[in-house]
Structure 1
Amino acid sequence: MVRLLSVLLVIPLLASCTSIIEGAPKPGVSLEKAGPAGTVPAGLEKFYGQQLGWQDCAPFATTGSSRSAYGSKRDVECTRLQVPLDYAKPDGDTITIGVLRYKATGQKIGSLLINPGGPGASGMAAAAGMVSDYRKTELSKRFDLVGFDPRGIGASEPAVKCLTGPERDADRLDLDIDTSPAGIAQTEQENKAYAEKCAAGTKFGASMLANLGTRDVVKDMDVLRSALGDAKLSYVGYSYGTRIGTEYAETFPQNVRALILDGAVDPTQDQLASLVAQAAGFQKAFDEFVKWCREKGDCPLGDDANASFRQLTTPLIQKPVNVNDRKLSYSDAITATIQALYSEQLWPLLLDGLKELKNGRGRVLMTLADAYLDRDDQGNYSTITDAFNAVHCVDDQRLTDKNALLETAKKYKEAAPFLDDGNPPGAALDSCAFWPAPVTARTGTPKADGIPPLLVISTTGDPATPYEAGVNLAKALNSRLLTYEGVQHTVFLQGVACVDDAGVKYLIDQTLPADGTRCA
């Protein structure tokens, strides 16, 4: 999931990291030493060849959703991978990466690593959630399914921690849409304070934040590849996970076996252009939702759907709607809508939510917004929002040109009129402008010479990562493009036989679909 930056302006475990497992296992822990395998960088031998201790996944749960996912999957096991905090200082502080595995049932090729995107989403929870469908494919016989929580996220320790649950609830009611000079100054002060809270609340502080980006995640992934006993990597990356896969191919081209990149982040666009393209993508998905809504016969959106949507949502700016002991804010309603536009399966909920809002109620929209922000019924949030911001701040160039920001804000409103809040465009600096760590990501069009052909999947109606982004990534990596005709964000292993069959064949046999293949 690539998260909408204009919407997100924006319980970890801080236990001490343990040493690499040696000796006899603790009760309930099964030790396994499968590495080192493949290429091992000098000075990192102890990490690449480390012994892993597999155990029940329940202790790795950090949210209500992960407790539910791990508790119902007794056929998965979990471990912690130890990696350097700073790869330039391999003998310095260490951190751990949470890992979940569903073991292959047949003649195994190796491990299939997955990342669900974000940045900030839990790969462990995603893998646990995929097990039932994964069992139905030939992949379950040939690959261990492996999900990992990237550094700073979920069960990985330490986790990024910026805001408490009550602070996050309050932040959702603080809209920051006043674009007057005083309003801009207030927003920037809040964004500066947020950056300071991230450094103060996260173990290792600015050092952790400086080593949290994709540059370091792919190095962790290579350590994991080796520790699992795989000489080369097989990987499926969704959304932001395509950026991880691309960076891995650039950094470790000799270690690539097969990569599927589904819902690509466009490597040819700068951040501002990407934001406008994403706004256009969500407008396109909203327009498709409106067509479906009107076919239902009880759609609350009138002839001018954009105006009707604004008439339903903008009153929340002045008067949020009570939902039990909470209040549904304008930003919650927008977040809920964005959440539903990711998949046609959520359109009925969005319809119900808009009909409720028309009658002064907000339960359904609050539920959708909570799901997007990963808030449980007890008011606890996962690391997803704080991690999204932290990774974004070291992965993307800082946006400090206020003229460029203002011009982008104007283009954004033009590209997605249903999201226009009625206020003049503004140009407040975000928290990254005050971030206590430098940008660490690569820049420019990716180059991964020497890699085998990869499979890029792009969906024509993808709202978050528009179709052309996949076209551009496939071209940049000299890889095969598979097109899916649909309206959703990512598609592989989600029940579309044409796409699934092509992807499974590629992962097992390394045979790509024919050039120009389209699925519907």
Structure 2
Amino acid sequence: MTRLLTVLGALVLVGAVACAPTSQPPPLQPHTEQNGPVGPVPAGLERYYGQSLEWGPCAEYATTPRTRSAYRNRRLECTRLTVPMDYSEPRGRSLTLGVLRKPAGQPSRRVGSLVVNPGGPGASGMTMAAGLSGTVAGTELGRRFGLVGFDPRGIGASLPRVNCLTADGRDAERLDSDANTSPSAVARTESENRAYAARCARRSGTELLANMGTRDVAKDMDVLRSALGDEKLTYLGYSYGTRIGAEYAEQFPGNVRAMVLDGAIDPKQDTVQSMVAQAAGFQRAFDAFAAWCAPRASCALGDDPSRAVGVYQRLTRPLVRRPVPTAGDRRLSYSGATTATIQALYSPSTWPRLNDGLLQLERGNGQILLGLADSYYGRADNGQYSGITDSFDAVRCVDDPRITDRARKREADRRYRRAAPFLDDGYPPSGARGPCAFWPAPVTGDTVPPDPAKLPPTLVLSTTGDPATPHEAGVRLAKTLGGRLLTFRGTRHTVFLRGNSCVDDAGIRYLVDLKLPPEGTRCGS
């Protein structure tokens, strides 16, 4: 359907999902709360801001095998939040968002709710909150805050959901690398992308697609803030979640208490600039992987990191014409191999598995790499998909200015390959326009930055070797928000609450007491 450079997203998966312990405390009891309206209420939205929330067990909110396990935890509670489908018509259709909460460990000392988002776009905030509930249990953060995650509109447990492809359709789409850039091949790719956009509209509804943008997610988050009973929002956003935070800060600056934004997206950077910067980030991560691998006895890329790109290309480029077999009747394509590599480059913890997968590929088997790619696309062992790719496209196509000119698209592809040569498939750059060029809904995103004079101090965390959201974007976001930048030295995507005490202590102190770390703070090796 489309090439990797047009679907590559920034996604963070934080920690392991918290499963139900062997010996559990008594379950939380179902109950109804009416805490709102709290704070300013936009005209016409009174019934949303003042709605009651019916909290109960989370099992019925599960949409994947992973969430079915996580949501059995009886110390978690879930509800549905009702919001307008279209905020310009608040008396029109509504939709519901799934919301999950781990109540504060010490209610008498509770500061408020900590609303979290893991990125994507398309990732589940409910799943993230379930995973983080175990991480923060027993910490000051867990004692002082109720941990709240919501599935953004159209995603996960929220209804209705964006739905573009069946599981079989997604499997088939992943086999199509679209490497051929001849005029006839470009026309065929664009025809596939046009059909995909039409299918998304038919299966999801154009009204939902028109209101999937970050603009609307930020409005939803303010409704959630009020319904939870918080006068001001305390927020933790990772990766694309930093864009949600920046959008909220632009729309509702007076409603912000504190924000930690980790793995920043620069809201002022255009589509091509962001894509090329991300490509360069993944190339740096690939180079770091090659340097890590070279001294090992069995390194798929050889013992000379300067030749690693060429070795990788010789391993993967043949897949354009001849996908290799895996277990069962599935095959690994070129785009599958590069997607698997991207997935593994998010964190050094997965570098050994990437090396094993490349060694296996050299022997003519793609099983390990296919599993890594499945993780990226949210494909479970039963063959079903989480929907993250459909949601990613739906948000991206209304958030960002579209590339509708073939010459500009070809130039963007050329710059992408130059920034990340390990992802160059050997064919000429493509001018094929992606699905967003044919999307049946208008762009609703903007690049209007927040006014730092209207905001309280915020904290931006940025990692020097972050492959998906480069460090420079964090520097710029902190400046845009008038906030404080904390730099982590390392190669990984996002860092807060992932075991580095320097980062975690600074972030927790800020969220609890609103005390920022000293200017110029750097953590890591």
- Give the TM-score, by structure 2 length: 0.93
Q: Indicate how the Cα distance of structure 1 residues 139 and 515 shifts in structure 2: closer, same or farther if over 3 A, else same.
A: same
How far 1:445 moved relative to its partner?
Answer: 4.1
1:516 counterpart SS class: coil
Q: Indicate how the Cα distance of structure 1 residues 78 and 423 shifts in structure 2: closer, same or farther if over 3 A, else same.
A: same
Distance 2:344 2:235 in 1: 27
Q: Aligned partner of 2:58: which letter?
A: C
Are residue 404 (structure 1) and residue 408 (structure 2) matched? yes
Of 380, 389, 400, the residue aligned with 1:385 is 389
Equivalence map 1:232-311=2 (5 Å): 232-302=232-302, 303=304, 304-311=307-314
Kindly indicate whether the alpha-carbon contact (under 8 Å) linking 1:7 and 1:334 is maintained by their aligned counterparts in 2.
no
Q: Deviations over 1:42-87 (max 9, x none)?
A: 211111111111111111111112112213x221111100001011
Distance 2:5 2:416 in 1: 11
How far 1:318 moved relative to its partner?
Answer: 1.5
Q: Aligned partner of 1:461: which letter?
A: G
Q: Name the residue aligned to 1:162.
A: 164
Q: Which moved more, 1:246-255 or 1:39-48?
A: 39-48
Q: Name the residue aligned to 1:130.
A: 132
How far 1:480 moved relative to its partner?
Answer: 0.3
Kindly indicate whether the alpha-carbon contact (under 8 Å) linking 1:161 and 1:201 is maintained by their aligned counterparts in 2.
yes
Of 320, 324, 346, the residue aligned with 2:323 is 320
Are residue 190 (structure 1) and residue 192 (structure 2) matched? yes
Distance 2:105 2:61 in 1: 24
How far 1:323 moved relative to its partner?
Answer: 1.3
How far 1:296 moved relative to its partner?
Answer: 2.3
How far 1:378 moved relative to its partner?
Answer: 1.4
How far 1:34 moved relative to its partner?
Answer: 1.6
1:50 counterpart SS class: coil
Q: Aligned partner of 1:463: which letter?
A: P
How far 1:246 moved relative to its partner?
Answer: 0.3
How far 1:8 moved relative to its partner?
Answer: 4.8
Q: Name the residue aligned to 2:496.
A: 492
Distance 2:347 2:49 in 1: 39
Equivalence map 1:342-421=2 (5 Å): 342-421=346-425
1:66 counterpart SS class: helix
Q: Deviations over 1:172-206 (max 9, x none)?
A: 0111121111111111111110110111001xx11
Q: Deviations over 1:256-293 (max 9, x none)?
A: 00001100112232110111111000000000001111
How far 1:498 moved relative to its partner?
Answer: 0.3
Q: Deviations over 1:444-478 (max 9, x none)?
A: 44434311010000000000000000000111111
Kindly indicate whether the alpha-carbon contact (under 8 Å) linking 1:178 and 1:184 is maintained by their aligned counterparts in 2.
yes
Kindly indicate whether the alpha-carbon contact (under 8 Å) linking 1:7 and 1:331 is maintained by their aligned counterparts in 2.
no
Q: Aligned partner of 1:259: which letter?
A: M
Q: Deviations over 1:13-39 (max 9, x none)?
A: xxxxxxxxxxxxxx9742111221111
Q: Indicate how the Cα distance of structure 1 residues 490 and 8 shifts in structure 2: closer, same or farther if over 3 A, else same.
A: closer
Q: Which moved more, 1:476-485 or 1:405-414?
A: 405-414
Q: Which moved more, 1:275-284 or 1:38-47?
A: 38-47
Q: Name the residue aligned to 1:88.
A: 88
Kindly indicate whether the alpha-carbon contact (under 8 Å) linking 2:179 and 2:320 is maintained by their aligned counterparts in 1.
no
Q: Aligned partner of 1:422: which letter?
A: G
Q: Name the residue aligned to 1:52.
A: 53
Distance 2:507 2:36 in 1: 27
Distance 2:174 2:68 in 1: 25
Aligned residues: 498
Kindly indicate whether the alpha-carbon contact (under 8 Å) linking 2:253 and 2:450 is maintained by their aligned counterparts in 1.
no
Are residue 211 (structure 1) and residue 215 (structure 2) matched? no
Q: Percent identity of the aligned residues?
A: 60
Distance 1:446 1:233 in 2: 16
How far 1:402 moved relative to its partner?
Answer: 2.1
C-alpha root-mean-square deviation of aligned residues, in Å? 1.5
Are residue 472 (structure 1) and residue 476 (structure 2) matched? yes
Kindly indicate whether the alpha-carbon contact (under 8 Å) linking 1:97 and 1:150 is maintained by their aligned counterparts in 2.
yes
Are residue 455 (structure 1) and residue 456 (structure 2) matched? no
Are residue 67 (structure 1) and residue 68 (structure 2) matched? yes
Q: Aligned partner of 1:346: which letter?
A: T
How far 1:381 moved relative to its partner?
Answer: 0.5
Q: Which segments of 5 or more consecutive residues in structure 1 lack a partner in the other structure?
A: 10-26
Q: Aligned partner of 2:500: which letter?
A: V
How far 1:132 moved relative to its partner?
Answer: 1.3
Distance 1:358 1:69 in 2: 37
Distance 2:364 2:189 in 1: 29
How far 1:6 moved relative to its partner?
Answer: 3.4
Kindly indicate whether the alpha-carbon contact (under 8 Å) linking 2:5 and 2:413 is maintained by their aligned counterparts in 1.
no
Of 508, 512, 520, the residue aligned with 2:512 is 508
Q: Deviations over 1:273-328 (max 9, x none)?
A: 11111100000000000111112221011331001011111111111111122111
Q: Which segments of 5 or more consecutive residues in structure 2 lack a partner in the other structure?
A: 10-27
